[in-house]
Amino acid sequence: MILQYLSEFQQDPIATTLFIGIIIIAIVVAVTIHEFSHAIVADQLGDFTARKLGRLTLKPSAHLDPMGSIIFLVAGFGWGKPVPVVQNNIKKLNPQIGLALISLVGPGSNFIFSLLLAILIRFELIPNSVLNIDLVASFIFILINVNILLCVFNLLPLPPLDGFKVILGILPSRFSNSLSQMERYGAIPLFGMLILDMTFNSINIFGTLIGTPVGFTLELMLDITGRV
């Protein structure tokens, strides 16, 4: 994400630095919202693990994952520090369904936050006088963009992403138990695909998987804002 702007640094270092700073702030906000949403829903369903680990907070330092943040800056998608969930502690729902809900709420929170920003712009609850300030307008639209990227990327059905846990939660136990064995490999499949993508431009795995849904969702948000 940021690498594409580094070539402009020599031409306009101040503007480029400000723009990169905006992207970093947007990533911090999006990741914090995402992980906090996981934590609070898990807590409400009876699993207090996140509370004990200090994750029921909007402090970014509690939720940022160093590697996930670096990948986000470089590739345009990434992840936060996973919120640990003990499935057997979920009491207010079937534990398997509860796990799916906790996993889904992270990407869902990013989508809802983007939608809220778009609605605020549409109904001029964010004044035009504010949006006419280039720096503010850039921040808001980058914030929408980053939240949509985080939402779509985390819905990919690969461990350790949320989409994989949603699938584990909705599949019958006999299938989910077998599929869950993939978790022993951690993020290896994900990193493998990422390395292939960065090494061979012609492969473009992530561009294929997330490019279309991200593009469609961003167009939807722009339509809602009325500022296409």
Q: Compute how many other C-beta atoms are within 10 angstroms of the C-beta atom of residue 199.
A: 8
35 is catalytic: yes
How far apart are alpha carbons 221 and 224 in whole angstroms?
5
Residue in 8, 35, 183, 219 annotated catalytic: 35
- Per-position DSSP letters for the chain, written without gaps between them: --HHHHTTTTT-HHHHHHHHHHHHHHHHHHHHHHHHHHHHHHHHTT--HHHHTT-SS--GGGT--HHHHHHHHHHS----PPPP--GGG--SS-HHHHHHHHHHHHHHHHHHHHHHHHHHHHTTSS-HHHHTSHHHHHHHHHHHHHHHHHHHHHTSSSTTSHHHHHHHHHS-HHHHHHHGGGGGGTTHHHHHHHHHHHH-TTT-HHHHHHHHHHHHHHHHHHHHHT--
Residues recognised as catalytic: 35
